[in-house]
Structures are given as C-alpha cells and as structure tokens.
Structure 1
Amino acid sequence: MITALPFDSNIFNYPVGKIVVEDKWDEQDFLKTVKDFQLVYIFSSKALDISSPSIQHVDTKVTFQKSLESIEKVNGIESYKSDEFSERLEELAYLSGTFSRFKTDTRLKNGEFQKLYKQWIIKAIESKQVLVGINMEGMITYSLEKEHAKIGLIAVSESHQGLGVGKKLVRAAEYICQLEGAQEMQIPTQESNIPACKLYESLGYHVAEKVYIYHWYKD
C-alpha cells in the first residue's frame, strides 16, 4: 500500500508517496495503484526484479551505526548559533547531497533536489542542531530521539577536503549527542559514496542496514 508524503508533496508541488516492500514484490499490482501520484519511493531490503522503465533503481542506502562511549570534545567545531539562514550553509547542504537520489535521478527536473535540501538545512537551523567549522569550512546536522542520535547532512568545502575536517565534524556531533544522552549514533549514506563509507568505517562504524531504493516517476 502506498503512503502519501505530505512534506515532500508540498515541497515538490505534486503528489509523492512511498511503499515499503516487506515480502513479495508484484510490479503489476504496484503499477495499478500509482495513478494518483507523480513520484513514489520504493524501499526494499532486497534488490527487486524490475521491468517497467518508469521504475528506476536510484540508491542503495547504507546506515552505519556505532555505540557512543567516552567521546572527547573536539576543537575547531562549534554550534551554529545564528537563527538566520546562511547562504554558506545552503551551499554546504547542496554539497552534502552530491550522491543524493534526488540529484542523480535525471527525471527530477523541477529543482526537487535544491528544494528538499534547502528545507532540511532550514529545519536543522531552527532546531539548533547544526555544527560548523570555525571558518565555515564544513558543517554537520544531527537529530536526537532519547538515546538514539542520527547524522543528517555532512559536507566539507572542496578546498578543505582530505584535511581531516570530516572526522572532526563527526566526532564533534558524537560528543554533543553523548552529552545530551545519546548512547548510539547512526549515519545513513549512499553505498556509492565511497569516501563517506570509508570515513565512517575509519571512525569505528559498522553497517547496520542496507536498503535498495527505487523511484517510480510518471512520465
């Protein structure tokens, strides 16, 4: 059964839905139920046998996980204290989505990627859950739900990549979240984002979940 997604629908200005394939995948049954949507996300723990050109594999999401124990404070990273929307943060938000399915799906031609990532960074600013380098050379967003923490967006400016800024951002987020009661951290990313996967593995994370994501899009 397809679930409507009001948040995405409002941002994209057309009906968006999602479906989670939990057992048997029946493509023909699915195609009979999509007439009221323009875009549907399909999530599956296994790769699906697809024949319709309207359904494309757009991402294999891997979620890294780690227990937080005795995390030390990191110098050079601070909370973004302003309530003002920053063009610099907007640039970094777009950079964080280099491998995003909303960017790599070439059928999404109405600025969906920019609209979505702009809203994500705005919400993180409003929640005061953004950390930045002192010179805005990088940023990371996070969220907390009781003892569970999660990284949202992370990006390092092109001029500072390879200098260890990404590690500092993750460690700073771990430190803040542990102070606020988190016992574990999760970081979702794309399997195709090899540099990010290697970074998280180097910090002691392991893959806790893999999800295959497809987009059905009405031509």
Structure 2
Amino acid sequence: MHNNFTLREWDSQFFNRRIFSFGLPVIEISSHDWPKNSLTTVKVDSANSFFLDEVNKHKFSFVEGELVFKKLLPVTIKSALITDFGAYIATDSSLDELKFIVSDLYVNSRFREPWFTPTERNSFYQMWVENAVLSKFDDCCLVLKNEGSISGFVTIRIRGGEATIGLIGVPEPFQGQGIGKKLLELVQDYCVAKKATVINVATQTSNISAANLYSKTGFAIADISYWFYKQV
C-alpha cells in the first residue's frame, strides 16, 4: 500500500468498511494509488497552508472544523469541593438512558451524511458512552440528575495529569438551564480530586453555543484544525 495511507483498523471494523488516514506531506501519488471502495480522512492544522493546499489539490471535501479548548486548573485549589463522586458516576443501570440521550444529539459531528448514516453516527456515540461507563476508553461518565432523570452527562479520561473531556451532552428537555456550566464545574472538581492540572475539550467550529460555554468558563482555544474526507 502507498505510504500516505494508513488503515484505521478500529473505525474500519466498527463501520464495516475500509477507512484510511491520509498522511502528510504527500509522497508522489497517482490516481491508481488511492485505495478503492474506501473513505480516506485527514485532519489538518488550520495554520498549515501548505498542507491545506495539498489536501485541496487531491480533491478532498471539507467536513468540519475542530476547536480544542484548554483550561489550566488553579494551583491554589487544595482539594475538590466534592470529595465523594459516587453519586455522579454512571453505572450499567444508566446505559439505556444514556444511549437514548446520545441518539441524534451530535448531528453536526464529523460522522455525518453523506459519509456516514444517522444510524452509524448514533451507534458510534452509543458505543463511546458505553465504553466510558464501563471504563474501557474514557475513565468514567459523570451525570447530573433531575427527579431521577439524567439532565446532563460528561465523559472524562485522565492520563499523566492531563484530563480530556470526551463527550458532553444535555438532553433537549434540560437545555438552556445552565446544565452545561454545572457539568464543567463537576468536571473541574473531579479533575482536581484526581490531581489533574489541565483539562482539554474539543468541539466543532459550527457549535457556537459550546464554544461560548467553554470561553465563559475559563477555557482558551489551544488549537484549530479541519477535517477533510475523500470517498474513492
């Protein structure tokens, strides 16, 4: 196989099709080098005009922009305001409700039509939240509840003192009630308790409400990149 293509094994197996990453810079490549009957993806830093030109030259389609926000946790905080997170950590009993919530919650993600069907997109996020609850990828899923129903959730992964928010979501009936801000406060307490020093979170450039939420709660933009796809 041509050196610019790397098979995304997990993605290919999950979506039952061949999905590749496109490596940059481009080594000499001709039309017959492209993997047939496949989807090739590439993410390019917004400031790298040379790589953006290369992607355009090979007729990739723009899919979505990605903003990465970062927040340094104050070193003056000695301990988390919450010390027992047992009541907030989702268990197997919450899986059905969480899977229902994430269905059609991320319609503007990069897993969108025409490259992915709504069913494929929903299955992907359902698997993600399940893996978080079972601590198979993210460490855990924290939830807020209102009269027994989940009003918001967030998945977290901490490695080497650096925390990453995976998924964060608020069901439609609870949107516009400040739940997102409460989730981020809960995340900060959890991260401080776990001795993390920084929190990262990514969102789409089109998700203005999420970007505004992060900006208003002490996060700063650390990176901007773009996703491109090419169907062969």
TM class, shorter-chain normalised?
Answer: 0.7 to 0.9
Listed as ranges, the matches of 1:84-123 within 5 Å are 84=93, 86-103=95-112, 105-109=113-117, 111-123=119-131
* 2:74 corresponds to 1:63: no
Per-residue displacement from partner, 1:8-67 (whole Å, max 9, x unpaired)? 11110111111243xx568x83755431561121111136242666x2111110100010
* 2:178 corresponds to 1:164: yes
Change (3 A) 1:68 1:130: same
Structure 1 counterpart of 2:208, which letter? Answer: I
| Contact 1:61/1:190, CA 8 A, preserved across alignment | yes
Q: Secondary structure at the match of 1:171?
A: helix
Moved over 4 A (4+): 74-78
User: 2 CA distance for matches of 1:80 and 1:65?
Assistant: 23
Offset of 1:174 from its aligned partner?
Answer: 1.7
Per-residue displacement from partner, 1:69-123 (whole Å, max 9, x unpaired)? 23644999942342246222013223542320102x3232383212211211111
TM-score, normalised to structure 1, is 0.86
Aligned partner of 1:82 in structure 2 is: 91
* 2:223 corresponds to 1:214: no
User: 1 CA distance for matches of 2:217 and 2:165?
Assistant: 14
**Which deviates more, 31-40 or 4-13?**
31-40
Unpaired segments of 5 or more residues in structure 2? Answer: none
Larger radius of gyration: 2
The CA RMSD measured in Å over matched residues stands at 2.7
Listed as ranges, the matches of 1:1-219 within 5 Å are 1-21=4-24, 24=25, 29=29, 32-36=32-36, 38-46=38-46, 48-49=52-53, 50=56, 55-69=60-74, 70=77, 72-73=81-82, 78-84=87-93, 86-103=95-112, 105-109=113-117, 111-127=119-135, 129-134=140-145, 135-218=149-232
Q: Secondary structure at the match of 2:167?
A: strand
**Which deviates more, 175-184 or 194-203?**
175-184
Change (3 A) 1:110 1:88: closer
Change (3 A) 1:168 1:20: farther
Q: How many residues align?
A: 213
Q: Secondary structure at the match of 2:99?
A: helix
**Which deviates more, 200-209 or 125-134?**
125-134
**Which deviates more, 37-46 or 174-183?**
37-46
User: 2 CA distance for matches of 1:78 and 1:199?
Assistant: 25
Q: Percent of aligned pairs with the same residue? A: 25
Q: Secondary structure at the match of 2:29?
A: helix
Q: Secondary structure at the match of 2:116?
A: coil
User: 2 CA distance for matches of 1:75 and 1:201?
Assistant: 28
**Which deviates more, 33-42 or 203-212?**
33-42
| Contact 2:163/2:198, CA 8 A, preserved across alignment | yes
Change (3 A) 1:174 1:37: farther
| Contact 2:89/2:141, CA 8 A, preserved across alignment | yes
Offset of 1:216 from its aligned partner?
Answer: 1.3
| Contact 2:104/2:122, CA 8 A, preserved across alignment | no
User: 2 CA distance for matches of 1:161 and 1:81?
Assistant: 20
Structure 2 counterpart of 1:87, which letter? Answer: D
Q: Secondary structure at the match of 1:141?
A: strand
**Which deviates more, 196-205 or 81-90?**
81-90
User: 2 CA distance for matches of 1:122 and 1:9?
Assistant: 19
